[in-house]
């Protein structure tokens, strides 16, 4: 009988729920202006009190944690299963799931945002459940429109969201203890917050020695303006540990202008300009930097069923190569579903395109890290 997790499985990104075909056509005519008009809040940012770290001692503050019933991060496609006693602890920060323009930040109890976040964990965080217990906090995420404007309210919203993430990370460290290996991962807004977490809590700290790898996926990382501040080097080989992986997936021809408009307008994490700087590009198929891999090397992409209630793994369909400024180019647009952003941006599929390879990558890096526990990694 089909499990509740499988019945509920949908992998969509909050952005894509509002991007109908008509909206995509309008984008081609009018550019990012139409997205800004319909998604950026017109209200002023409302300051809110910081969330105390001990608030995250409550299980309800977590979407996923090892003791949570119906943990969405334990979903796997047929042929895979989560480890029963994994060696690592994974801190995963989910992408934007709050769409409303009535507020700059999502309430922690927003049912739609929380439901979407659970779906994202099934299609993304699940890639790590063979190597680690997954912890994924609820947080007062910035709304999608915050990424389409340079208003001060947008920065304030992102700062509020990051404060929650940092508080959750404090509790995560307390729960997992002082010695356990750690994998850090996130997507989109979650990856943005992860870069700040690396800068603030990992760089130059003893904790850096416990980091198996950091998967900063779906958010650009400038090699010259961001990476030096993160305290970990770029992953160059698949057996390297204590390093950072990052990629943004585009079919060809790729048009990343909407992303770069916002990214380049802000200084890097070390304060220097980002404009036109090269990006960290990890090929998730090979685990190598600036690499090229054919479709035959792809161990498995998640393909949704027609009703979006389940997904299956199919190997050998999608290639990948790092090109240009540092985008991950996947060739002709693959038919993995209708949820593709304008510009051939496969942002929603950054994890699912390479789900099986990411799972293997995490296992290889965990083994190289040398836990000595001897757990079998699928």
Instruction: Sketch the domain layout of the chain as residue ranges.
Output: 4-369
Tokens 């008009």 locate to: 37
**E strand segments, 53-101:** 62-64, 88-93
**How far is CA 239 from each of CA 83, 235, 282, 368, rounded to the nearest angstrom?**
21, 9, 13, 6
Beta-sheet pairing, 301-304 with 182-187:
unpaired
- Helix segments in 110-220, DSSP class H: 111-123, 152-176, 189-197
Query: In 3D, which of 292, 288, 293, 300 has the Cα closest to residue 351?
Result: 300
Query: In 3D, which of 177, 178, 182 has the Cα closest to residue 242?
Result: 182
Q: What is the pTM of this model?
A: 0.89
Q: How far apart are CA 241 and CA 243, in angstroms?
A: 5
Token readout for 240 is: 């390297």
CA torsion angle for 239, 293, 126, 216 (degrees, to 10)?
A: 70
Number of Cβ atoms within 10 Å of the Cβ of 346: 25
Token readout for 133 is: 């217990």
What local confidence, expressed as pLDDT, does residue 33 receive? Answer: 60
What local confidence, expressed as pLDDT, does residue 34 receive? Answer: 58
pLDDT block averages, 10 residues each, the chain of length 378? 38 37 41 63 86 92 95 95 96 91 89 92 96 98 81 89 97 96 97 97 97 98 98 97 98 92 90 96 98 98 77 96 97 88 92 98 96 40
List the beta bridge partners of residue 303: 312
Chain-centroid distance, C-alpha 116: 14
What local confidence, expressed as pLDDT, does residue 16 receive? Answer: 39
**How far is CA 62 from each of CA 137, 184, 316, rounded to the nearest angstrom?**
4, 16, 35
The length of the chain, given as a count of residues: 378
């Amino acid at each position: 009988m089909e499990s509740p997790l499988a019945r509920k499985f949908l992998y969509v990104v909050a952005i894509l729920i509002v991007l109908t075909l008509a909206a995509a056509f309008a984008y081609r005519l009018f550019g990012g202006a139409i997205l800004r008009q319909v998604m950026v809040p017109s209200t002023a940012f409302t300051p809110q009190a910081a969330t105390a770290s001990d608030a995250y001692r409550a299980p309800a503050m977590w979407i996923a944690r090892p003791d949570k019933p119906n943990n969405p991060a334990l979903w796997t496609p047929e042929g895979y299963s989560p480890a029963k006693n994994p060696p690592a602890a994974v801190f995963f920060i989910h992408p934007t799931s709050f769409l409303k323009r009535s507020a700059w930040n999502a309430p922690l109890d927003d049912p739609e945002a929380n439901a979407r976040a659970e779906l994202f964990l099934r299609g993304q965080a699940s890639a790590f459940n063979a190597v680690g217990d997954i912890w994924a906090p609820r947080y007062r995420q910035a709304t999608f429109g915050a990424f389409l404007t340079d208003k001060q309210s947008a920065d304030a919203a992102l700062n509020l969201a990051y404060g929650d993430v940092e508080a959750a990370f404090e509790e995560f460290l307390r729960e997992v203890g002082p010695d356990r290996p750690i994998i850090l991962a996130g997507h989109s807004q979650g990856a943005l917050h992860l870069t700040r977490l690396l800068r603030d809590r990992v760089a130059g700290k003893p904790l850096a020695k416990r980091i198996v790898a950091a998967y900063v996926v779906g958010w650009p990382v400038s090699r010259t303006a961001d990476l030096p501040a993160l305290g970990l080097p770029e992953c160059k080989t698949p057996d390297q540990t204590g390093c950072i992986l990052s990629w943004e997936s585009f079919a060809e021809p790729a048009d990343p202008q909407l992303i770069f408009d916002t990214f380049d307008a802000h200084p890097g994490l070390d304060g220097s300009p980002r404009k036109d700087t090269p990006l960290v590009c990890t090929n998730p198929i090979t685990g190598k930097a600036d690499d090229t891999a054919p479709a035959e090397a792809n161990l498995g992409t998640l393909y949704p069923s027609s009703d979006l209630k389940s997904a299956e793994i199919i190997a050998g369909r999608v290639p990948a190569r790092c090109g240009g400024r540092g985008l991950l180019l996947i060739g002709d647009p693959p038919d993995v579903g209708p949820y593709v952003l304008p510009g051939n941006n496969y942002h929603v599929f950054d994890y699912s395109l390479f789900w099986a390879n990411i799972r293997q990558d995490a296992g290889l890096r965990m083994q190289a890290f040398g836990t000595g526990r001897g757990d079998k990694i699928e």
